[in-house]
Amino acid sequence: MSDSRPIEVDVAIVGGGPAGLAAAMALRAGGVARVTVLEREEAAGGIPRHCGHPPFGLREFRRLMTGPAYARHLVAAALAAGVDIRPRHSVVRLHPGGQLDLASPDGTRQMAARRVILATGVRETPRSARLIDGDRPLGVINTGALQAYTYLEQLRPFARPVIVGTELVAFSALLTCRKAGIRPVAMIEAGTRATARWPTSLAPRLLGVPLHLRTQLVEIRGRKNVEGVVAAGPDGTPREIACDGVILTGQFQPAAELVRASHLRLDAGSGGPAIDQFGRCSDPAFFAAGNLLRPVETAGWSWREGRRVGETVAQDLAGALPASTREVVIERDAHIKLVVPQRLAWPQFGAGIGDHVQLRVARAIAGTLSARANGQVIWQRPIDTLPERRILVPLDALPIPADARSILFQIDPRG
């Protein structure tokens, strides 16, 4: 320990991405004096720092920007608002009541905050956790790493990769490749259609990259570097595709390791901390915002969520946010992968992080989505959706009975 006295602040924000910076600015606007953003990278800005393409900034600055320009704008705005941003400060542990252990090049320190906002974002699932068969050569990376190579380090990890997946981020990988002079040899997707919406899903054809649907990555080959992948198409026959890299895109998961190692409750569905509609965690000194809450939303969405949590925390510090006296747990059936928030708190107060419950499904599904309380259907609506698409249920559309302890969302598939 270089200094044993904890640094005291009003609010410590863990993570300086769009959500964290927006929360910080909202806190300053709400009259909170000491607002510190702890960011482990050399600069705040989050993922947009290495998304070298538009569209960013529409919601926040009413301008179309590239990610890096947007990140710089956010940082400048936060500094101008009097936010204390500390780059190269890693939060390594969370303690009950708002204590944090920090590491920085100057030494390890403790920070004591009246409130903490967690905003550590998401990342993509790596090769290991996907249990992909084959060798383990260099050159199997996620989109995030590809973008860091291209935009942060000006390096080219490979020349002819295969792109795996068709979530929105896969098209961002495609654009990044184009920018870096990398020519993907194929894009493969296990499902029957591209996950991202039209017209994005036309992009590969426009860029001259063959898109293979209903094609499964079977194996990665190569001892030192990638030499090829084996993929099985609709007829199941494995086929080798020569390539020198693999970009594994999407399958996002919240960067929730601090939460997992702490006293806070983790939600198995979202992979993020369990929260109420104010963004409050199981320890009321902790709040959370942005993509840490669930995979995955845009920067603009995360920014808005951050701002709302910032506003809520400012009110909490002013003594306006009531402690919860009654809680309704939000449950889900197996068709539904996640629900955020995971509980609603009474008394009601303001809008919280949004005025809705957000759901995502586990598999492509069509049918009726309903909410039940005390065994009765209190709300329902037809749906036809894919796993990566958000479903929003307005909170004020849910007539929750006063004696209900929980509500259950379920889907009755059609046919």
Partner 1 sequence: MARPEAEVTAQAATVRIWDVAVVGGGVVGCAVARRFALEGAAVVLLERAPDILAGASKGNSALLHTGFDAPPDSVELACMQAGYHEYLEIRERLGLPLMETGAAVVAWNEDDLVRLDAILAQAHRNGVTDVRRIDRAELMQREPNLAAHAKGAVLVPGEHVIDPWSAPLAYLTQALAHGAAVWRNAPVTGGDFDGVTWHLATPRGPVSARQVINCAGLQGDVLEHELLGSSDFEIRPRKGQFVVFDKAAAKLLTTIILPVPTERTKGVVLCRTIFGNLLVGPTAEEQPDRERAATDSATLAQLRDQAIRMLPGLADIPVTAIYAGLRPASERKEYRIAAKPGRHWITVGGIRSTGLTGALGIARHVWSLYAEQGYRHTPPEVGHWPRMPNLAEHEMRDWQQPGYGEIVCHCEMVTRREIEAALTGPLAAGDRHGLKRRTRAGMGRCQGFYCTARVAALCEGRLHE
Q: How many CB atoms lie within 10 A of CB 396?
A: 8
Instruction: Please pick, from the candidates 63, 93, 205, 223, the single residue that binds partner 1 as defined by CB under 8 A.
Output: 223
Residue at 167: amino acid letter:
E
Name the minimum Å distance from CB 331 to ligand FAD.
26
Angle at 358 (CA atoms; ends 354, 363), nearest 5 degrees: 165
298 binds ligand FAD (CB under 6 A): yes
Name the minimum Å distance from CB 300 to ligand FAD.
6
Name the minimum Å distance from CB 66 to ligand FAD.
10
340 binds ligand FAD (CB under 6 A): no
Residue 223 interacts with which of partner 1, ligand FAD, none, CB < 5 to 8 Å by class:
partner 1
Exposed, middle or buried, 147 (CB in 10 Å: 0-12/13-18/19+)? buried
Instruction: Please pick, from the candidates 15, 57, 341, 352, the single residue that binds ligand FAD as defined by CB under 6 A.
Output: 15
Instruction: Please pick, from the candidates 107, 238, 322, 399, the single residue that binds partner 1 as defined by CB under 8 A.
Output: 107
238 binds partner 1 (CB under 8 A): no
101 binds ligand FAD (CB under 6 A): no
Residue 261 interacts with which of ligand FAD, partner 1, none, CB < 5 to 8 Å by class:
partner 1
Instruction: Please pick, from the candidates 9, 12, 13, 16, the single residue that binds ligand FAD as defined by CB under 6 A.
Output: 16
Q: Whose CA is closest to 321, among 264, 288, 278?
A: 278
From the list 138-146, 293-301, 373-381, 406-414, the region that binds partner 1 by CB under 8 A is: 138-146
- Structure tokens given for 185: 């040899």
Residue keyed to tokens 């901390």: 273
Instruction: Please pick, from the candidates 27, 248, 255, 340, the single residue that binds ligand FAD as defined by CB under 6 A.
Output: 255
Q: Which residues contact 413 (CB under 8 A, 6 or more apart)?
A: 335, 365, 366, 367
Q: How far apart are CA 53 and CA 36, in angstroms?
A: 29
45 versus 269: smaller Cβ distance to ligand FAD: 45
Judged by phi (left if over 0) then psi (alpha if -120 to 50, else beta), residue 22 lies in: alpha
From the list 84-92, 168-176, 278-286, 344-352, the region that binds partner 1 by CB under 8 A is: 84-92
Q: Which residues contact 223 (CB under 8 A, 6 or more apart)?
A: 135, 137
332 binds partner 1 (CB under 8 A): no
212 binds partner 1 (CB under 8 A): no
Q: Which residues contact 87 (CB under 8 A, 6 or more apart)?
A: 16, 39, 40, 41, 42, 43, 44
Please give the helix or strand (H or E) that residue 68 lies within, else none: helix 67-80
103 versus 386: smaller Cβ distance to partner 1: 103
How many chain residues touch ligand FAD (CB under 6 A)?
37
CB-CB contact of 380 with 340 (8 Å): no
Please give the helix or strand (H or E) that residue 137 lies within, else none: none
Going from the C-alpha of 83 to that of each of 37, 104, 207, the distances in angstroms are 7, 19, 42
Residue 268 interacts with which of partner 1, ligand FAD, none, CB < 5 to 8 Å by class:
partner 1
DSSP reduced 3-state for 300: helix
Contacts with ligand FAD by CB under 6 A lie at 14-20, 38-41, 46-48, 51, 90-91, 119-124, 143-144, 147, 169, 172, 255, 258, 290-292, 296, 298-299, 302
Contacts with partner 1 by CB under 8 A lie at 2, 40, 42, 88, 90, 92, 103, 105-108, 123-124, 126-129, 131-136, 138, 141-142, 144-145, 148-149, 152-153, 155, 157, 219, 223-224, 253, 255, 257, 260-261, 268
